[in-house]
Chain A
């Protein structure tokens, strides 16, 4: 071989071998002990999930007041769109460049929490635990381990939205929303059969199936949180109900594989009459379909008698790799304090995770008679008994495996029991990896 060819080959090999190292690096580095008690000064980066541009003014306002209160600090805000967020987070985690304060939901946070990527708040700020809604604080724990890793930020609580005009058309009382699962499905059936050219409801399996099982009291996992265990007789009865409703045409035929986005579109297009979803969707309906918003009323989240209600939690976490943990922790605490969260809740129908803020008359007084204030009151009342019912282990792959089996059951390819057994087996295989 010629000398020049050898050089080219050697350079290429080094280059390629260098590249092959990608993906084989160590897990997120541990930078050692957290420094909560340090000086509140210097620059930090704060990352949020899809809040720009709708809430730019609010976020920048809070940052400005923080920087005024702590004059030696600078907060650089970046916003990450929801789609692709997991890829960005994992790349940052690999490179050890996670932002100093990062906004994640419990499912996104879980794989990183397991690797010890975040500062344990119960260790560095244990006194703050009691100011937050208990269910929200607990959402950032790793099952079977000590500690909690996220400041709970804004919450979203489901209410039962429904179209009063469609209720009237189907001969149902528009002032009486369904309160139990039996009533919900009965109403959906009546709406489809007796109503006009619309369906009772959309199943939105990927969004509701697992919380529904939890609300019905089905234990989703074993106590250690290591194995899935939802193939119970109660779950089987519930899946059988879904099968019957789908086969009888109570749900739209294409809804089998559709997600919550399609459910929202269907409600806004007057294709379905019932819409159990986050209260924050009221403003989206108002914006996209004012006529539907006018006919919309709300009832409480449907759960079993005495059962828990579900709450979706967003949190702020501080990675151990942050070189300014003291400022990061102070900023996360500031962003989630009662005053700032209350202000945020007044812009959009979300709920503060601080108990004190929830006691504000803004969440208790619905005397103005609007649907928004009614939804706000109902949702805030529910938060007392609310938990994040979706286990943090329910990641995208487990979801795909479980929901896939339920789809096959509803399509008549599996029985309810077979679907649940296969779903549990597949989910366990994925979780065990």
Chain B
């Protein structure tokens, strides 16, 4: 490249850089600064050292949020790694009309989370369709309290997250499945390997790098879970707010005219550390597995 055109890449990058600085890096650094102050929604904000973090350590709501967030990731990530792969294997075949099913499986991804959440809150209500079916099949006598029992509410939200994410990760897996050698499948079939055996010994190793990626994306997404819990629980996060996630608590603490921006920023920083920590642990475990 001629010397006088050195600035050209920067010109092309400029719009993206401005957006990244303005809406990502700037607010991120701002959050770090605010985490060490007693700033509120209505201004003020003096440096208060580690006060916010010592308060966090003693805040039961924070620990409930951390517990639920970690639990969310632990349950959702394995399901998001496996179920979309099975779905992708199912819709990979070129049979007539398969495009329709691919679109149907993908449709929850493009639906608004608020709309999806509202639909699920109706389905899961005590007189909703899910309880109706369970009672009609005589699986339960009384309606299950999906919306008023903390564990059931959290589990319902997790399943909605998985259901909504299936299509997205299915598409990623579909691309990866194209790279799995057909010859290996044929050879295994000739050797008498069944569908299950081929899935375990050929398909899964073939898409392993993609599984790592899906796991990482799923983990980061589940750390940020908010809309499912907020909408399905009618904004309450269950009785006593016991099904709260970290983002839910950050919003509750930081919003409104009495919002504690400093404290909410400290919580956001804790979420950042948790997400990064989880990701590093995950990547390390995958790397050591690859080395083996």
Show the binding face of A for B, using Cβ within 8 Å: 12, 15-16, 19-20, 22-28, 86-87, 89-90, 93-94, 108, 110-112, 115, 252-254, 256-259, 262, 395-397, 400, 404-405, 407-408, 410-411, 413, 433
Q: Are A258 and B234 in contact (CB under 8 A)?
A: yes
Q: Shortest beta-carbon distance, B219 to chain A, in Å?
A: 28
Q: Are A254 and B126 in contact (CB under 8 A)?
A: yes
Q: Shortest beta-carbon distance, B109 to chain A, in Å?
A: 26
Name the residue on A nearest B239 (C-beta). Answer: A407
- Which of A16, A28, A89, A259 is the most central at the interface, judged by chain B CB atoms within 10 Å of its CB? A16
For the complex of A and B, 5 pairs with smallest distance between CB atoms? A19-B26, A257-B236, A404-B240, A407-B239, A408-B240
Q: Shortest beta-carbon distance, A27 to chain B, in Å?
A: 4
- Considering the chains assembled together, what is the distance between the CA atoms of A89 and B42 in angstroms? 9
- Considering the chains assembled together, what is the distance between the CA atoms of A411 and B238 in angstroms? 11
- Considering the chains assembled together, what is the distance between the CA atoms of A55 and B259 in angstroms? 31
Instruction: List B contacts of A15 (CB < 8 A).
Output: 21, 26
Q: Are A19 and B27 in contact (CB under 8 A)?
A: yes
Q: Are B238 and A257 in contact (CB under 8 A)?
A: yes
Interface residues of B in 123-155 (CB under 8 A from A): 125-126, 143, 145, 147-149
Instruction: List A contacts of B149 (CB < 8 A).
Output: 411
Q: Is B34 an interface residue (CB 8 A)?
A: yes
Q: Are A22 and B30 in contact (CB under 8 A)?
A: yes
- Considering the chains assembled together, what is the distance between the CA atoms of A397 and B26 in angstroms? 28
Q: Is B235 an interface residue (CB 8 A)?
A: yes
Q: Are A400 and B42 in contact (CB under 8 A)?
A: no
A-B contact pairs, 29 of them (CB 8 A): A12-B21, A15-B21, A16-B21, A19-B26, A19-B29, A20-B29, A23-B30, A23-B34, A23-B261, A25-B43, A27-B44, A86-B256, A87-B255, A90-B42, A93-B42, A112-B257, A252-B126, A253-B145, A254-B145, A256-B148, A257-B148, A396-B252, A396-B256, A396-B258, A397-B253, A404-B239, A404-B242, A411-B240, A413-B239
Per-residue interface assignment for chain B, residues 12 to 30, with 1 indicating a CB less than 8 Å from any chain A CB and 0 otherwise:
0000000001100111011
Interface size on B, residues (CB 8 A): 41
The main secondary structure of chain B at its interface with chain A is loop
Q: Shortest beta-carbon distance, A234 to chain B, in Å?
A: 23
Show the binding face of B for A, using Cβ within 8 Å: 21-22, 25-27, 29-30, 33-34, 37, 39, 41-45, 125-126, 143, 145, 147-149, 233-236, 238-242, 252-253, 255-261
Instruction: List B contacts of A397 (CB < 8 A).
Output: 252-253, 256, 258
Q: Shortest beta-carbon distance, B142 to chain A, in Å?
A: 9
Q: Are A90 and B239 in contact (CB under 8 A)?
A: no
- Considering the chains assembled together, what is the distance between the CA atoms of A242 and B290 in angstroms? 58
Q: Are A26 and B143 in contact (CB under 8 A)?
A: no
Instruction: List A contacts of B147 (CB < 8 A).
Output: 254, 257
Instruction: List B contacts of A408 (CB < 8 A).
Output: 239-240, 242
Instruction: List B contacts of A89 (CB < 8 A).
Output: 257
* A395-B29 CB under 8 A given contacts A90-B41, A400-B241: no
Q: Are B44 and A19 in contact (CB under 8 A)?
A: no
Name the residue on A nearest B262 (C-beta). Answer: A23
Cβ-defined partner of B43 (8 Å) among A28, A110, A258, A259: A28
- Considering the chains assembled together, what is the distance between the CA atoms of A87 and B254 in angstroms? 11
Q: Are B259 and A90 in contact (CB under 8 A)?
A: yes
- Considering the chains assembled together, what is the distance between the CA atoms of A169 and B253 in angstroms? 46
Instruction: List A contacts of B253 (CB < 8 A).
Output: 397
Known: A19-B26, A22-B30, A253-B145. 5 other contacts (CB 8 A): A15-B21, A20-B26, A20-B33, A257-B148, A413-B240
Cβ-defined partner of B45 (8 Å) among A23, A86, A108: A23
Instruction: List A contacts of B258 (CB < 8 A).
Output: 111, 395-397
Cβ-defined partner of B235 (8 Å) among A12, A19, A90, A259: A259
Q: Shortest beta-carbon distance, A194 to chain B, in Å?
A: 20
Q: Shortest beta-carbon distance, B255 to chain A, in Å?
A: 7
Q: Are A253 and B126 in contact (CB under 8 A)?
A: yes
Instruction: List A contacts of B21 (CB < 8 A).
Output: 12, 15-16
- Considering the chains assembled together, what is the distance between the CA atoms of A404 and B238 in angstroms? 9
- Considering the chains assembled together, what is the distance between the CA atoms of A382 and B228 in angstroms? 42
- Considering the chains assembled together, what is the distance between the CA atoms of A115 and B260 in angstroms? 15
Instruction: List A contacts of B145 (CB < 8 A).
Output: 253-254
Q: Shortest beta-carbon distance, A39 to chain B, in Å?
A: 31
Q: Shortest beta-carbon distance, B31 to chain A, in Å?
A: 9
Instruction: List B contacts of A110 (CB < 8 A).
Output: 257
Instruction: List B contacts of A252 (CB < 8 A).
Output: 126
Instruction: List B contacts of A20 (CB < 8 A).
Output: 26, 29-30, 33
Q: Shortest beta-carbon distance, A48 to chain B, in Å?
A: 18
Instruction: List B contacts of A413 (CB < 8 A).
Output: 239-240
- Considering the chains assembled together, what is the distance between the CA atoms of A411 and B243 in angstroms? 14
Q: Are A94 and B43 in contact (CB under 8 A)?
A: yes
Name the residue on A nearest B258 (C-beta). Answer: A395
Instruction: List B contacts of A258 (CB < 8 A).
Output: 234, 236
- Considering the chains assembled together, what is the distance between the CA atoms of A253 and B234 in angstroms? 14
* A253-B45 CB under 8 A given contacts A86-B255, A413-B240: no
Q: Are A112 and B42 in contact (CB under 8 A)?
A: yes
Q: Are B29 and A16 in contact (CB under 8 A)?
A: yes
Name the residue on B nearest A115 (C-beta). Answer: B42
Q: Are A411 and B148 in contact (CB under 8 A)?
A: yes
Q: Are A27 and B240 in contact (CB under 8 A)?
A: no
Instruction: List B contacts of A12 (CB < 8 A).
Output: 21
- Which of B21, B30, B44 is the most central at the interface, judged by chain A CB atoms within 10 Å of its CB? B30
- Considering the chains assembled together, what is the distance between the CA atoms of A400 and B251 in angstroms? 13
Instruction: List A contacts of B45 (CB < 8 A).
Output: 23-24
- Considering the chains assembled together, what is the distance between the CA atoms of A345 and B125 in angstroms? 38
Instruction: List A contacts of B261 (CB < 8 A).
Output: 23
Cβ-defined partner of A111 (8 Å) among B26, B39, B239, B257: B257
- Which of A110, A115, A254, A400 is the most central at the interface, judged by chain B CB atoms within 10 Å of its CB? A254
